[in-house]
Amino acid sequence: MIAGKNVLAFVMAGGEGTRLHSLTADRCKPSVPFNGKHRIVDFVLSNLVNSEIYSVYLLVQYKSQSLIEHVRQSWTMSRFIPNHFITVVPPQMHSGKEWFQGTADAIFQNIHLIESAQPDLVAVFGADHIYRMDVRQMVEFHLKTQADVSVATLPVPLSQSPSFGIVETDDEHRVVDFIEKPPTAKSMPGRPGHALASMGNYIFKADVLLKELKRAKELGESDFGKHILPRMMKTHKLVAYDFATNEIPGTQPYEEAAYWRDVGTIDAYFEAHFDTLGAKPRFRMSNPQWPIYSSNDSAESAQIENGMINRSVVGSGSVINGARLDHAMLRRSVIVEPDAQLEHCIVMERSVISAGARIKRAIIDQNNHIPPGELIGHDLEKDRQRFHVSEGGVVVVPRGYFSGTVPVERELTSRHA
């Protein structure tokens, strides 16, 4: 209950994530690892649970097995507390043999879940972003303004407007225009060079949502941003909630206010990792007053024999032996051998960086045994012949590209992909 209202949440976790290239070859975008032991989906689920929203349906679609396993192992709610659950829901195909055709169609295919739960409000949130948000504050704003729909918003540079739904509002926060991914946009008042963008997080009155989903089905509409919200703007009260006003306990003065990142590209994903590093990071992962929950980790502690380590994260079960790490992000059970060098790198589970390897500005996906003396990130033209290289020059080595045997005792610490 929030402000006396029952809130049911749907998390849209069906993203294919094609712009993440090989990182989503075997997993959906929300299941992509982030930082030392998290996955992208952990951020929205943590925000909902921290906001005391415990009835959550996670709608999945593409390459979802890794995500399903992660939720099963890491997000088990007590069976003794009524209406407390996080449940994964694949396409049910009640209305035909089709996968979800869009965000609204995904909810429509599961409309019986809303009708059965009979909530007062329905939260529809994306699963692809790195941020902290107290959803209760958005709900309170929704109730105060007597809105039919509230849209979480934040300013973005005009150059990024083709990637977002762009919102225009009046002086009372009411949405007067909503255009999904326009080629160009005009500056918002008082913020030259920026447009007001939808974060893809919505709060609906439940009865309004049910009627509009059925209406959308009749009209052949499938997406909130493309179809339903622009249409509803003319007949209902849509308001824009300012994410910058959201206050999170435990946030430090040195952190970036209202930190939010869409990590849908290799470069954005890569840079967001390094926003979490250092004694005064832009986004501090360890906030005990608003934790970002992660997977259960049974691996042993990391072991550092010797070497030089600067502003890095070393995951559990990892071994560093005579190597040099500079802005490196190592997940679980990574072995870095003598004289290897990692500079601005992300290395995922059960990988070995062999002696003398030199790697910079690279993402090494799981289960790679990098050969001795290997060079990655030093000659991008040669790298392009083997790997995907982003516009920002980040090299992505696919899962298991370099075959090799990871020591058995390390492999056993984490079998979960």
> What are the structural domains, with CATH classification, of the chain?
7-262 (3.90.550.10), 303-411 (2.160.10.10)
Name every residue whose Cβ is closer than 8 Å to that of residue 116 and which is 6 or more positions away in sequence: none
Cα Rg of the chain (Å, integer): 22
pLDDT of residue 265: 93
CB atoms within 10 A of CB 111: 16
**Ranges in the chain, pLDDT < 70:** 77-82, 91-100, 298, 404-417
**Who's near 23: CB < 8 A, 6+ residues apart?**
17, 32, 266, 269, 363, 365, 396
Q: In degrees to the nearest 10, what's the CA dihedral of 111, 114, 118, 120?
A: -120
pLDDT at 406: 45
What is the DSSP secondary structure assignment for residue 300, as one 8-state letter? P
What Cα–Cα distance (Å) separates residue 364 from each residue in 7, 33, 40, 301?
40, 12, 17, 21
pTM here?
A: 0.91
Tell me how many degrees the CA angle 339-342-345 measures, rounded to the nearest 5.
Answer: 165
pLDDT value of position 403: 82
**Angle between helices 65-74 and 41-50 in degrees, nearest 10:** 40
Look at residue 295 in the predicted model and tell me its pLDDT.
76
Instruction: Determine the pLDDT at residue 410.
Output: 38
By C-alpha distance, which of 270, 405, 295 is closest to 350?
405
pLDDT the model gives residue 417? 46
Query: Can you give the pLDDT at residue 414?
Result: 35
Give pLDDT, residue 4.
86
What's the pLDDT at 72? 87
